Amino acid sequence: MTQTTDFETITIDHLRQVGSVKWSAYPDALGAFVAEMDFGTAPQVTQALHEAVDTGLFGYLPAALEQELATAWTDWARTVYDWDVPPERVRPMPDVIAALQATIEHFSAPGSPVILPTPAYMPFLTVPPAAGREVIQVPMARQGGRYVYDLDALDAAFAAGGNLLILCNPHNPVGRVLERAEMEQIAEVVERHGGRVFSDEIHAPLVLGDHRHVPYASISEAAAGHTVTATSASKAWNLPGMKCAQLVLSNDADAAQWARVGSTHEHGAANLGVVANIAAYTAGRDWLRTVLDYLDGSSRLLADLLAEHLPEVGYTPPEGTYLAWLDCRQLGLGDRPAEFFRSHAGVALTDGTLCGRAGAGFVRLNFGTPRPILTQIVQQLAAAVRAQ
């Protein structure tokens, strides 16, 4: 187990006073659902925000700040992912969902279904229908205890008329960090059908242990040619309310298309969010290393706690993210175990059915919390099961 940090001193009372959705939506429950960490953010980010507020940076987003954001992210991508992207190909967005909406509208075949490997991040099931698109759910396969993309099923989904594949890496909710060889196989399927990929890499800085994030668009010229990538500092540095993400355009055609249509979509990126993202990428690495070390230890602690208190629950420690995908099917709680745990354990989790049909009987648990709170969460889940 890793050495404790001052994260251990953060209390439930303090978190409720801060008032984030995770701790205010259910005042009578422990928050373990929405993807927010409980560790605040890097001091360098806080300092940069104070300076921007003191300066009065409240007007429309200046071009110089857009450029600084692009440079900060491209420097990060070059040093951390070994991916060299021209700064002019990195555009500010309010969030990854806005990037998906724009990608569906401008970079997929009109009216075509969206292909979604499941279980999936919940809005990926609702955003395409809101845009008039069908979602083809493609359940992920299990191989050696790990979730993998089902290549035959992906091929069939493209053959059925799907055009845009939503690829999530690191994957929310199952925590997979895709390897280059896996993505090369996925790219072959996409190319065979003339498809497109929206690559959600918002959790890219949150890889655990010896795993390494490889951007999908970086694996080959073909992948770069059919991919639009979206990312942000929002998950790794706990900034989701700051409204800033990055859209990465990895080919000339998409860059030219975006130059014609992109300004309206970019308009929601907030100045302070841009400032926060710049500070995170340029000065927040030491803080992030501390967080990753803590999360890695907490992931293993969760395995130990479940083995002790709820051995019936299936759990494979994630390779990335701070999200645990728990198989509760042996508990006899039906397809929606989160409802039971909310009512009987006083713990708010994400129900797996919200992640697609493949999530029935599962829950998503956020372990990005102090370990004493994580321990209390598991103990309350177990007590509720035993009291049935």
Task: Convert the pLDDT of each residue in 159-186 to its tens digit.
Answer: 999 999 999 999 999 999 999 999 999 9
| Cα–Cα dist 56/307, whole Å | 52
pTM of the model: 0.96
pLDDT at 236: 98
Tokens of 211: 């795993």
**What tens digit of pLDDT does each residue of 1-31 get?**
344 568 999 999 999 999 999 999 999 999 9
Q: Are strands 362-366 and 323-327 parallel, antiparallel or unpaired?
A: antiparallel
| Per-run averaged pLDDT (10 residues), the chain, 388 residues | 71 96 96 97 98 97 97 98 98 98 98 98 98 98 96 98 98 98 98 98 98 98 98 98 98 98 95 98 98 98 98 98 98 98 98 98 98 98 97
- Residue corresponding to tokens 């700064």: 87
pLDDT at 1: 38
**What tens digit of pLDDT does each residue of 24-43 get?**
999 999 999 999 999 999 99
Q: Which residues contact 57 (CB under 8 A, 6 or more apart)?
A: 65, 271, 272, 275
Helix H, strand E, coil C: the string for the chain is CCCCCHHHHCCHHHHHHHCCHHHHCCCCCEECCCCCCCCCCCHHHHHHHHHHHHHCCCCCCCHHHHHHHHHHHHHHHHHHHCCCCCHHHEEEECCHHHHHHHHHHHHCCCCCCEEEEECCCCHHHHHHHHCCCCEEEEECEEECCEEECCHHHHHHHHHCCCCEEEEECCCCCCCCCCCHHHHHHHHHHHHHCCCEEEEECCCCCCECCCCCCCCHHHCCHHHHHHEEEEECCCCCCCCHHHCCEEEEECCHHHHHHHHHHHHHHHCCCCHHHHHHHHHHHHHCHHHHHHHHHHHHHHHHHHHHHHHHHCCCCEECCCCECCEEEEECHHHCCCCCHHHHHHHHHCEECEEHHHHCHHHCCEEEEECCCCHHHHHHHHHHHHHHHHCC
Q: What angle do CA 141, 146, 149 make, to 5 degrees?
A: 35
pLDDT at 2: 41
Burial 236-251 (b: 16+ CB within 10 A, else e): bbbbbebbbbbbbbbb
pLDDT at 5: 67
Residue 367 in contact with residue 321, Cβ under 8 Å? no
| Cα–Cα dist 146/319, whole Å | 10
